[in-house]
Amino acid sequence: MVVVVAVVSPAAGPVGFFADPLHLPEGVPGVLDQRAGVIGMFVGIAGLLVAGAALPAQLHPPSLPAVRRSAGPPLNRADPIPCTWPHGSYRHPVSGEPGTAFPG
């Protein structure tokens, strides 16, 4: 369906431009062109305002609160973390041993 629209739309443009299938009166296309230009100008201004309002948020992202760790032994990066995603404990498909987040 998308391919049909992508092929028909560019073909319909020149046909509508040269053949005038709607048989519009003399002044109507000029008025429609002016109105489309004004509407396009207002849409462009609205887009510029939205982009301008979003720019400070991108330049200065909000700071995230510090994550507090519950009491317990200190983390040791050498210890593997048990992997429990997505259905409980994970087992290696060949050896059957419990899987970890750090292979090795």
Which residue's structure tokens are 């560019």?
10
| pLDDT tens column, 69-82 | 666 666 555 555 55
Top-confidence residue, 104 or 24: 24
- The two three-digit tokens of residue 9, written as one number: 């739309």
What's the length of the chain? 104
pLDDT tens for each residue of 18-50: 777 778 888 888 898 899 999 999 999 999 999
**Cβ–Cβ under 8 Å, residues 102 and 86:** no
pLDDT > 90: what percent of the chain? 19
Cis peptide before 61 (omega within 30 of 0): no
Whole-prediction pTM: 0.41
> The tokens 């939205």 sit on which residue?
50
Cα atoms in the 13 Å half-sphere on the side-chain side of 36:
6
Q: Break the chain into its structural domains and give their ranges.
A: 27-59
User: Which tokens go with 21?
Assistant: 């299938």
Residue 94 to residue 104: CA distance in whole angstroms: 15
